[in-house]
Structure formats: C-alpha cells, structure tokens
Structure 1
Amino acid sequence: MLSITRCLHLSQLLLHPALPPKFPYPFLGELELMGAVRSALRPKIVDMSSKQAKFVENTVASNKVVIFSKTYCPYCTMAKEPFRKLNVEATIIELDGNPEGNEIQEVLGEITGARTVPRVFIDGKFIGGGTDIKRMFETGALQKYFQ
C-alpha cells in the first residue's frame, strides 16, 4: 500500500484558515522554553568561598602536580600518561567519583576559564588540558618542571 503525505510550504500554512500561524520552529516560539534557553546561557555565579573552592585551592597549593580528571575521559588519560612516563607523582582528583565533583568543576571553570577536564596544575599554576600536556611532553617543556 502506498501512502502519500502532502507537505505544505510555510506560506501555505499561514494562508490556511484552519491552521493557526506558527513560528517555523515551534519549540523556539514557546516563551517558557526561550526563558530556559536564555537562563542556560547566563553564566553561573560560583561561590569562591565555598568548601569546594577551598578544596581546590588547598589541593593545588599543597601538591607539585594536580590533575582534575574523570575516569572515562580519553583526554584525562592523555594528560596522566606523560607523568607516568616521567615517574612523576601526580595527585589525581577523579571528579566523576566525587559527590561534589560538579561543584568542583564549576570552581575549576572559574579559575581556569573552562570547565572541561582534565585541568592540570604544576607548582600551583594552571598548565592546561590533555593536548597541552601531551604537546609539552613531546617538546620537552614538561620535563623542565622536574629537573
């Protein structure tokens, strides 16, 4: 059996009296959804005096190398590998196993300018993410931190 569906152009819909005119993308026409989209784009306010912010600050200050990571993230694995090859002990904070991981990630976003993981710190300074660490290792720049 053959079924034929008739498609109308938007101009035909607007002229058809039985169909109310609609914005071409109905989900964008809903004010509640527009408000939700607008609020999702609004930057979050991060409390830099929170216990999560203090945790990040103390962890970064008291360890030579700190990697904020997620266990399943390939870029995190990429960031950890050079330290393993150099026999450098790194403090690794796995955010996906931490009940406060999302809040810690928000703090990291505020400090470093991005929420993505990994976030790697050496000597209290933000160094970069997975590709940054890999590139530094390949060029010998990473090794200079440990000589």
Structure 2
Amino acid sequence: MVDAFVKSKIRDDKVTLFIKASCPYCRNAVELLQEFNFLPGHLEVVDITGMDDVQDYFQRTTGQRTVPRVFIGRTCIGGFSDLQNLYQELPGMLQKIGALQ
C-alpha cells in the first residue's frame, strides 16, 4: 500500500519532495527549488507528517528515512544537503527531465 502511494507521486518529468511541515530542512529544500521556473505540476511537495510507514519505506528503498526525500524524476538524490551539493547542476538536471518552463 505505502509503495503504491509513493510510486503514485513520482514521475519521470517531475521533482517530488517528501517533507514534514515542521522540519526546517524541508522548508529550506522547498525554498531552494522554488527558485526555479517549473512547469505547472512538475514540482510536488508531499507532506508525510505522521506517516511513519512512508519513512520506513524510504529506509528500505533509499537507505535513509530522514526528510526531506528529494526525487528528481524517479531518482532519489537524497535530502537537503544533497540538494545543496547539486545546486550548480540542478538547472541541467531539471531541464533534462523536462520540468522547467
């Protein structure tokens, strides 16, 4: 059930962030990505507050259960620090998956 929920949110041409609203790293990740000019529907923020089963699923599938979990296309790039480390490469990555205007 939880795998179907996660997989329903992830697409080849979109960036998906799984966050908890109270998490400062999650807010920072959202702010960083909002700097880019996404096509409508190509940036989705999914609040998983209280959904420990989703975090358990991420532990099994990505090796980490922390949030944010950032997916560019179907690839989990990690969390906020990983997103920061990729900052210079993000425009090309986002262009490549067709997420930008």
| Same fold, judged at TM 0.5 (above) | yes
Query: 1:106 corresponds to which residue?
Result: 56
The Cα shift of 1:144 comes to 0.9
Identity %: 33
Deviation at 1:87, TM superposition (A): 2.4
Q: 1:64 aligns with which of 14, 35, 52?
A: 14
1:92 maps to 2:31 = no
Higher helix share: 1
Superposed, 1:17-56 pairs within 5 Å as 51-56=1-6
Residues 3-36 of structure 1 show CA distances to partners (whole Å, capped at 9, x for unaligned) of xxxxxxxxxxxxxxxxxxxxxxxxxxxxxxxxxx
Which has the bigger relative contact order, CA under 8 A and spacing at least 6? 2
Task: Give the structure with the larger strand fraction.
Answer: 2
Whole-angstrom distance in 2 between the partners of 1:122 and 1:146: 7
**TM-score (norm: length of structure 1):** 0.57
1:145 has 2:87 as partner = no
Gap regions ≥5 residues in structure 1: 1-50
Question: Could you say if the C-alpha distance between residues 58 and 131 of structure 1 is closer, same or farther in structure 2, counting changes exceeding 3 Å?
Answer: same
Superposition RMSD in Å: 1.6
When normalised by structure 2's length, the TM-score is 0.81
Name structure 2 gaps, 5 residues minimum.
96-101
Residue 80 of structure 1 deviates from its aligned partner by 1.2
- Which protein is bigger by CA-based radius of gyration? 1
Which one-letter code corresponds to 2:7 in the other structure? Answer: E
